[in-house]
Amino acid sequence: MLRKRRFIAIFSTLALVLALSITAVAKISAQTTSGPTDKWCSGVNIDFFPGGSPGGSFETVVYNGAVQATADLGPTTQYIWSDWQPDKMVTQFQQAMATKPDGIAVMGHPGDEAYKPLVDQAEAQGIIVTSQNTQLSELEAAYTGNGFGYSGATLYTQGQSVGNEAIKVFGLKDGDEVFVWGLLSQAGRGQRTQGVIDALKAANITVDYLEIDAATNADPTAGIPTFSAFVSAHPNLKAVITDHGNLTATLPALLQAAGKTPGQIGAGGFDLSGATIQGIKDGWIGFVNDQQEWLQGYLPILQICLTKKYGFSGLSVDTGAGFVTKDNVDALSSLAAEQIR
């Protein structure tokens, strides 16, 4: 009789364990087979900084990426244009924070020091902050667990790669003179210009540097008189590198205004656009570095949604992809025309 009771007890325990296991498996199965959720980021409010001005060749591609992410995921997104002015970005960040969005995706041009007090406040209020185009390394390190990520190229090494590419493509040698038109004065963004200069100087190339002024930064055609005067004053220039996507797209017009013909001065820079594609095809532009700026729009929206909805930490994605020249430009022409590449 005792053995029988023990058997019944053991059997009952096993039956209970089996029943609980079946219930747990059923719950997991229900969770994993419920299918994908459409517009899973609905109800999330995001302020997004495309960078420059509506219609600009670079920032429009960034904007298009953010618009597509918004359509795919379902948040409500406000777009804040800054004319590429770091001071304006800081002011606009403060204004955006006052509206208490769920997340802010910001261009990092002003640098860590300028942004830190405001980002600290935003994080204390539970606002998710992430960055694109120009990395905010210190803030990213401090708040990556809260969803602070980065979508863009690693700027200094990207600049170095462009300097080295210019040496290769234009056959530059010791003592040659190169005009670099960049943004050294900007704390974060200037690292890319510095990388270009350092790579050229390491090869004993003479660098003539000029800072892009505010007017040209906002509208590249405003720089035509400056460019023409600079080229005229430096008759031995072998090449020019523009550290600004919209300015690179304007290189054919700049060179024509300076009285040059295609290829007379080697010209290179950053970022694709329809105008840049045509400049490469026509021989005005020798190469550009493609940092896939559409991703710099799409990924920050995705980042904020992932953090807000699922608690994911910050993701750092290097969008720099390589170089576009006359040898591979045709493969990207249609995408550039659609303002995706």
Is 238 in the same domain as 166?
A: yes
| Sign of the dihedral through C-alpha 302, 303, 306, 307 | negative
Is 179 in the same domain as 148?
A: no
Pairing of strands 322-324, 287-290: antiparallel
Q: For residue 285, is it within any domain?
A: yes
In the chain, the amino acid numbered 100 is: K
Where residue 115 sits, what CATH number does that domain have? 3.40.50.2300
Token representation of residue 217: 């930064």
pLDDT by residue (tens digit) across 229-268?
999 999 999 999 999 999 999 999 999 999 999 999 999 9
Q: For residue 103, is it within any domain?
A: yes
Q: For residue 15, is it within any domain?
A: no
250, 274 Cβ separation under 8 angstroms: no
What pTM does this model have?
A: 0.82
Is 147 in the same domain as 162?
A: no
Is 231 in the same domain as 245?
A: yes
Is 274 in the same domain as 302?
A: no
Does an H or E element contain 47, and which?
Answer: strand 45-48
Is 244 in the same domain as 185?
A: yes
- Count of structural domains, the chain: 2
Query: What pLDDT does residue 7 have?
Result: 40
Is 267 in the same domain as 229?
A: yes
Is 160 in the same domain as 275?
A: yes
Q: For residue 123, is it within any domain?
A: yes
Q: Across-strand partners of 289?
A: 270, 323
Q: For residue 217, is it within any domain?
A: yes
User: Among 239, 333, 230, which Cα is nearest to 286's?
Assistant: 239
81, 53 Cβ separation under 8 angstroms: yes
Is 58 in the same domain as 178?
A: no
Residue whose pair of structure tokens reads 């004065």 in the numeric block: 185
First to last CA, the chain: 81
Give helix 274-281 / helix 57-73 axis angle, nearest 10°.
130
Choosing from 290, 307, 328, the residue where a domain stops is 290
Is 274 in the same domain as 314?
A: no
26: Cβ contacts below 8 Å, ≥ 6 apart: none
Q: How far apart are CA 212 and CA 122, in angstroms?
A: 31
Token representation of residue 147: 């969803």
pLDDT by residue (tens digit) across 320-334?
878 999 999 999 999
pLDDT by residue (tens digit) across 295-314?
999 999 999 999 999 999 99
DSSP 133: S
Q: How far apart are CA 145 and CA 124, in angstroms?
A: 13
Q: For residue 64, is it within any domain?
A: yes
Full residue range of the structural domain in which residue 94 is found: 45-153+293-320
Is 95 in the same domain as 202?
A: no
Residue whose pair of structure tokens reads 């002011």 in the numeric block: 91
161, 155 Cβ separation under 8 angstroms: no
Does an H or E element contain 287, and which?
Answer: strand 287-290
CA angle 158, 161, 331 (to 5 degrees): 90
Q: For residue 273, is it within any domain?
A: yes
Q: Which residues of the chain have pLDDT under 70?
A: 1-34
Query: What pLDDT does residue 5 have?
Result: 45
Query: What pLDDT does residue 320 have?
Result: 86
Q: For residue 135, is it within any domain?
A: yes
Is 197 in the same domain as 275?
A: yes
